[in-house]
Amino acid sequence: MMIRSIFQAIEVVGAVTPYDIIQLKVFYPVMSDNAPAQSMGIIPADSQHAPFPVVIFLGGINCGWELYQWLAVKLAARGLVVVTFNWVAENLPGSVGLTPGVEMKNLAPNIYGTAPTASALPALLSALARLNSEGVLAGLLDLERVILGGHSAGGRVAIESANPSFFPQVVAAFAYGAHTAAIVQLGYEAGTILSLSEALPLMLIGGTCDGVIANNSSLYGVTWERPTTPIERTFQAMVGGKSDRYLLLVEGANHFSIADPIDATIGASSLDFSATQPDEQSRNLIAAAIGLFIDAHVRDRSHDIVALEQLLTSDGAIASWERK
């Protein structure tokens, strides 16, 4: 299946200029490179496989969409539309950079769980509605099956905002290198793990050599026993679902094993440990697990539940996994 992309720009209502514009890159499957091209070389989508479930991927802080294009292409090849984006804004007051959109006030102890922490998501969902009404993807998107995914801070807001009371069209979520440990400066006790919605399928993935998580443990008032400890504790805090919640730890992967190419100019990259396994091997495993998770629990393909479990059981690059 061939993959192509289109670009969009959207305004974030309520954001302050010049930090009120999000740029989107949207990946979608096409029938072939030989299909008749429209204006600017845009190729029509493969309507035979529509309507397409949509993945919205939220990157880490200061991580551009190009770091995740490899994953977007692999997921689109499975018959999904994948939305990536860049948003330059204030991650914290006075700190400008690329952001996944973190609504900091909704992380406060008296608010958390009552409102989404993903500040970009309302604008992104509005953009999907527009894409489904005009242009090359018109009428081809399944806007009742939206999956949230992300890396690092973007992964955190993805899993925290995957709550049908916030966004009814969101049906599942996945994250790499993300957890819900509470920042002590917001007023939480050290080591607190915040809860997630019990309603939706969820996959948490982490690397055993994640130096960014390990070296940022002071934010949470603790020193983690292992780089994956807060990811494991986030999973342990979940109430058992319908056997649709997964924890997958990848042996030898670090915080940026999901990124290709790695951007050495990002400040957080200096905090990471060295990966002890080839990053391409880790990425292939991550993409396969996410793809099977979506096929099994969003597309309701029972044979892919078996295939996912076989992958998790047999792949030697997996340090450990759990399902509940």
* Mean pLDDT in residue range 104-113: 95
pTM of the model: 0.96
Predicted pLDDT at 87: 98
Is residue 150 within 8 Å of residue 158, measured between CB atoms? yes
The radius of gyration of the chain's CA atoms, rounded to the nearest angstrom, is 19
Instruction: Say if residue 183's pLDDT is above 90.
Output: yes
> What gap in Å lies between CA 235 and CA 157, rounded to an integer?
15
How is 146-191 classified by DSSP, letter by letter?
A: EEEEEETHHHHHHHHH--TTT-TTEEEEEEES---BPPGGGTPPTT
Peptide bond into 278 cis (omega under 30): no
Distance, CA of 149 to CA of 58 (rounded, Å): 6
Q: Please give the mean pLDDT across all residues of the chain.
A: 94
Residue 158: per-residue pLDDT? 98
Mean local confidence (pLDDT), 193-197: 96
Amino acid letter, 237:
A
How would residue 1 be classed by pLDDT, with cut points 50, 70 and 90?
A: confident
Q: For position 267, what pLDDT does the model report?
A: 81
Q: What are phi and psi of 153, to 5 degrees?
A: -60, -35
pLDDT band at 292 (very low <50, low <70, confident <90, very high): very high
- Give the separation between CA 281 and CA 96, rounded to whole angstroms: 34
Q: Summarize pLDDT for 33-84 with one digit per residue, the tens.
A: 555 656 567 889 999 889 999 999 999 999 999 999 999 999 999 999 999 9
Which SS3 state, helix, strand or coil, does residue 227 take? Answer: coil
Least confident window among 29-38, 70-79, 152-161, 238-247 = 29-38
H or E element: which one contains 122? helix 121-131
Using CB atoms within 10 Å of the CB of residue 94, give its burial: 0 to 12 exposed, 13 to 18 middle, 19+ buried: exposed
CATH of 2-323, one of 3.30.420.40, 3.40.50.1820, 3.40.50.720, 3.40.30.10: 3.40.50.1820
Q: Is 121 a residue whose pLDDT tops 90?
A: yes
pLDDT at 31 over 80: no
pLDDT of residue 39: 58
Strands 170-176 and 141-151: parallel
What's the pLDDT score for residue 246?
Answer: 97
**In this predicted structure, what is the pLDDT of residue 102?**
95
Gap between the Cα atoms of 93 and 95, Å rounded = 6
